[in-house]
Amino acid sequence: MSLRVLGVDPGLTRCGLGVVEVEGNRRATLVAVGVVGTVAGTALDARLLVISEAIELWLDTHRPDVLAVERVFSQLNVSTVMGTAQASGVVIAAAARRGIPVALHTPTEVKAAVTGSGSANKDAVGKMVTKILRLDEMPKPADAADALALAITHAWRRGVAGPGPTAGSASRGAAPASGQTPAQRLWAEAEARAKRGSY
């Protein structure tokens, strides 16, 4: 049994999109990866429309079982957080129209899942995504690699047992009690810290 996951690293300037197919033995294969976005200064409605049309196309083309979206959390730059949240809303709504479940994962969870460390930098995440997917070169820009990392994280977390929780419950529930890799165990610890608010 395999699970097809579309990972989305939301943003107005760059929205990373990555689709992976993950088998029951956790072997992950790249299906598609890309980035869509707009330049700063473009009207907000136009920026959101670009993202909306892109996600609609990706959903119809790749027909994922589930979407994995980065969970928005507080940062110093409020305007960046607002833009990320707006982009996330467009993506989640597009999935909802098709009845596709959406799961939310924090950056710490994703880093821990693919690298074994919740404090890994983007370069480390990119390198591990390249290794996990057996690619010849690292996906660029970093938003593309992050989207793939989100997809991998969700599939590994679910144990490829099904589409998983919806957006409202994505971070609730324990990781599988058995058959975990060391990285998955570290992910579970990172998730526990995230629940306590220590990102």
pLDDT tens for each residue of 100-131: 999 999 999 999 999 999 999 999 999 999 99
Mean pLDDT, range 81-87, rounded to an integer: 90
Residue 143 appears among annotated catalytic residues:
yes
Residue 70 appears among annotated catalytic residues:
yes
Active-site residue, selected from the candidate residues 70, 109, 146, 191: 70
Q: For residue 194, what pLDDT is reported?
A: 57
Active-site residue, selected from the candidate residues 109, 143, 146, 191: 143
Name 197's Cβ contacts closer than 8 Å, sequence gap at least 6: none
Distance separating alpha carbons of residues 27 and 34, to the nearest angstrom: 21
17 against 79, higher pLDDT: 17
Compute the CA torsion angle 8, 11, 51, 171 (nearest 10 deg).
Answer: 40
Residue 168 confidence (pLDDT) above 50: no
Residue 56 appears among annotated catalytic residues:
no
Give the residue numbers of the binding site for Mg(2+): 9, 70, 143
Residue 174 confidence (pLDDT) above 50: no
CATH architecture of the domain formed by 2-195? 2-Layer Sandwich (3.30)
* Omega before 141 within 30 of 0, i.e. cis: yes
Q: Would you say the pTM of this structure is higher than 0.85?
A: no
The pLDDT-based confidence of 193 (bands split at 50, 70, 90) is: low
> Token match 């959390």: residue?
73
Task: Please check whether residue 155 is in contact with residue 179, taking contact to mean a CB–CB distance below 8 angstroms.
Answer: no
Domain residue limits, the chain: 2-195
The pLDDT-based confidence of 1 (bands split at 50, 70, 90) is: confident
